[in-house]
């Protein structure tokens, strides 16, 4: 069996693309930065901390759904399934699924943070010695290839937990679901976490915790721009803000400039006004009905839905037509 390093398919975004996308976002009106760049090694570790916070209901709620229903989910995915996970992180929820899958053909975790991915893949290889682990370092919103497993799969299933689909604007969400459809093919499966609309106070606390961990996670994006791209952001002059946008049914996270200032990045000078916000993340929340409409537009039928008793979160099994 190959080590995670030997098996790795590496599509990690290059520095130049990071710079171009950051400059493009900061040239927009209003300014923005791609949330996918939260996840270097430190950002991934901070997100793991967020998942343990009392205010952050999504991980806790989704885990409980998985604990109660993973066996049913595995039955829907079927025998000899090749499981491809988008944004795998620490693969905590995935273990609940792997424990129930019937003779899986392999597991391909896809993550943008190479170090975090390899660390997780090595732990999984040790804990699941009979399972072929096929790590892919990639931005899953861009083209990449999953290595062929030694065992021929009877079904390909994409696993996309954590309500990350909510980070995309409607057109982007549809495009990503269509890419997942192309990955699994007709008859293939998508098992996806979808956060549901709920009270604004619950949502805002989840993205602006009292311990300040989410603020540190958000500000780490500026740390990356400084350390990796040579920018000169002064973190003391930006603050974290999260609020519920009722009209678009989404939480928005921002970094807000406290003063009029200039920042240098990639040879460009970027002007910030006092109070100007840089949007770093959208987190759309869905009703079951409007997510079914989104899935249908991408060629999927909703086959099963599992929710918690409060109907705060859902895990949905979609089958590709």
Q: Do 158 and 290 contact (CB within 8 A), yes or no?
A: no
Q: What is the DSSP code string of 129-165?
A: TTSPB--EEE-TTS---PPPPSSPPSEEEEEE-TTGG
The distance of Cα 74 from the centroid of its chain, to the nearest Å, equals: 21
Bridge-based pairing of strands 155-160 and 81-86 is parallel
Condensed to tens digits (0 to 9), the pLDDT of residues 182-221 reads 999 999 999 999 999 999 999 999 999 999 999 999 999 9
Q: Is the peptide bond before 250 cis (omega within 30 degrees of 0)?
A: no
Query: Among all chains, which residue has been given the structure tokens 């540190």?
Result: 216
8-state DSSP, 77: H
8-state DSSP, 236: G
- Please tell me the predicted confidence (pLDDT) of residue 160: 98
What 3-state DSSP class applies to 282?
strand
- Please tell me the predicted confidence (pLDDT) of residue 4: 81
Q: Which residues of the chain, if any, have pLDDT below 70?
A: 1
Say how far apart CA 156 and CA 82 lie, in whole Å: 5
Say how far apart CA 234 and CA 3 lie, in whole Å: 41
What 3-state DSSP class applies to 66?
helix
- Please tell me the predicted confidence (pLDDT) of residue 310: 96
Question: Residue 190 is encoded by which pair of tokens?
Answer: 């998508």
- Please tell me the predicted confidence (pLDDT) of residue 11: 83
Question: Residue 279 is encoded by which pair of tokens?
Answer: 């949007």
Say how far apart CA 125 and CA 43 lie, in whole Å: 24
**Beta bridge partner(s), residue 284:** 250
- Please tell me the predicted confidence (pLDDT) of residue 12: 79
- Please tell me the predicted confidence (pLDDT) of residue 1: 67
Say how far apart CA 252 and CA 242 lie, in whole Å: 6
How far from 295 is each of 27, 73, 194, 305, CA to CA, in Å? Answer: 32, 18, 11, 13
């Amino acid at each position: 069996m190959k080590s995670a390093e030997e098996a790795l398919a590496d599509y990690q975004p290059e520095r130049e693309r990071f710079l171009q996308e950051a400059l493009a976002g900061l040239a927009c009106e209003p300014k923005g930065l791609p949330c996918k760049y939260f996840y270097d090694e430190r950002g991934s570790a901070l997100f793991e901390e967020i998942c343990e916070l009392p205010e952050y209901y999504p991980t806790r709620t989704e885990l409980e759904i998985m604990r109660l229903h993973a066996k049913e989910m595995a039955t829907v995915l079927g025998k000899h399934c090749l499981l491809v996970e988008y944004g795998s992180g620490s693969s905590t929820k995935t273990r609940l699924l792997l424990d129930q899958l019937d003779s899986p053909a392999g597991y391909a975790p896809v993550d943008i943070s190479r170090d975090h991915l390899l660390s997780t893949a090595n732990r999984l290889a040790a804990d699941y010695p009979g399972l072929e682990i096929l790590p892919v370092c990639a931005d899953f919103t861009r083209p990449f290839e999953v290595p062929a497993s030694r065992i021929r799969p009877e079904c390909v299933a994409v696993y996309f937990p954590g309500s990350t689909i909510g980070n995309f604007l409607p057109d982007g969400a549809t495009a990503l679901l269509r890419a997942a459809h192309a990955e699994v093919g007709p008859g293939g499966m998508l098992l996806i976490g979808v956060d549901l609309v709920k009270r604004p106070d619950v949502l805002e606390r989840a993205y602006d915790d009292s311990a300040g961990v989410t603020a540190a996670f958000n500000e780490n994006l500026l740390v990356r721009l400084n350390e990796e791209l040579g920018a000169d952001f002064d973190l003391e002059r930006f603050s974290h803000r999260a609020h519920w946008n009722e009209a678009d049914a989404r939480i928005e996270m921002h970094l807000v400039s406290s003063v009029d200032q200039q920042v240098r990045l990639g040879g460009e000078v970027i002007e910030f006004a006092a109070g100007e916000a840089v949007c770093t993340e959208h987190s759309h929340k869905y009703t079951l009905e409007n997510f079914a409409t989104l899935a249908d537009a991408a060629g999927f039928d909703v086959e099963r839905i599992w929710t918690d008793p409060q109907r705060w979160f859902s895990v949905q099994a979609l089958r590709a037509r």
